[in-house]
Amino acid sequence: MSPTPWLEKGYYLSLGETIRDGSRSYWRTARGGVVEKGSAHGVDPKDYQGAELTRSMSFPVGFVMVKNGTKLLRLGDDDKLHATGKNLEKRTFLDLGEEVQIGGQTYFSVIPYVPPAEGAAEGADAETDGGEPAVAPTPEAEADSLFVKADVMRLAELQPIPKGLDPWDRWIDVDITKQMLVAYEGSRPVYVTLVSTGKRGTDEEPFETPVGRYRIRSKQITSNMDGTTATDGNYAIQDVPWVMYFEGSYALHGAFWHQSFGSVRSHGCVNLGPSDARWLFLWSTPFVPDHWHGVTASDDNPGTTIVIRRSEPS
């Protein structure tokens, strides 16, 4: 056996079984290749998950987006805010209530949130190994008025249903400015999360995600992605999960190699936490038949509409 010359440092492989050739050990990859065991090492996949919105919820909703997180506060009997002892990490989802002024500063009231027991996307998990996506109620919290500073939040903005869609149609809104995705059923938002779209790149090699209105053209449970860039060099990732192509090689897909959601990062695709990507994959059309690896949209099985836009900076 000899090493495969195209493998470079930083490439991601899907590793399968270990095989031996005399005193040497190798990985057999999920794609049928072989790589010397000492040349590849396992990595822990990363994940992130936003929130499925229940029918009882309404905007505003949003995410804590300050580096070191923020304190969850409660309003005491003395009409002053006190720390609850809980720190809300960056990217924590919050269901918000009224915007209020307390002590000359602006706050949002916080509504305790519990993920639905059953996801809208057939079998999609309500919680992931990444931890609770939001503030869950406790006996103490139910009796308290909870608050968070308004200036630490990044809020989703409710969007009108695109022209030509029916009130029952499913569609996806991606806000590049806020790095946020909201999935809708008609006019009702049903899911919200943070994404990573294309970074700026250079004039000669731009990576920005294209704005416009699209439809999902094809879906694959996994797909290999690779390319060559002048600024980032070569890259290759095997078995990128939950891929939804909408324009050429541009796609919404899971990204297990980073957790920078809420900031630009990609070469043009819309990166999602794998749990988010799975939810959208199962919820959106064209639906993939059981035991199939992928499907292409058709007149009988059209793709979900995707709107990619830039909002005005707040």
Question: What digits encode the pLDDT tens for the residues 252-278?
Answer: 999 999 999 999 989 899 999 999 999
Considering 41, 82, 253, 291, which one is annotated as catalytic? 253
Which of 55-59, 122-126, 169-173 has the lowest average pLDDT?
A: 122-126
Q: What is the pLDDT of residues 144-164, one digit of tens each?
A: 699 999 999 999 999 999 999
pLDDT bin (cut points 50, 70, 90) of residue 46 is very high
- pTM of this prediction exceeds 0.95: no
Percent of the chain, pLDDT > 70? 86
293: annotated active-site residue: no
| Cα separation, 88 vs 284, whole angstroms | 31
| pLDDT higher at 51 or 13 | 51
HEC string for the chain: CCCCCCCCCCCECCEEEEEEECCEEEEEECCCCEEEHHHCCCCCCCCCCCEECCCCCCCCEEEECCCCCEEEEEECCCCCEEEEEEEECCCCEEEEEEEEEECCEEEEEEECCCCCCCCCCCCCCCCECCECCECCCCHHHHHCCEEEEHHHEEECCCCCCCCCCCCCCEEEEEECCCCEEEEEECCEEEEEEECECECCECCCCECCCCCEEEECCEEEEEEEEEEEECCCEEEEEEEEEEEEEEECCEEEEECCCCCCCCCCCECCCEEECHHHHHHHHHHCCCCCCCCCCEEECCCCCCCCEEEEECCCCC
What topology is assigned to 170-309 in CATH? L,D-transpeptidase catalytic domain-like (2.40.440)
Percent of the chain, pLDDT > 90? 65
Please check the confidence at residue 94 and state whether its pLDDT lies above 50: yes
Q: Residue ranges per domain, the chain?
A: 11-43, 58-155, 170-309
pLDDT bin (cut points 50, 70, 90) of residue 249 is very high
Considering 41, 267, 269, 293, which one is annotated as catalytic? 269
Mean pLDDT comparison of 36-50, 112-126, 207-221, highest-scoring range? 207-221
253: annotated active-site residue: yes
pLDDT bin (cut points 50, 70, 90) of residue 191 is very high
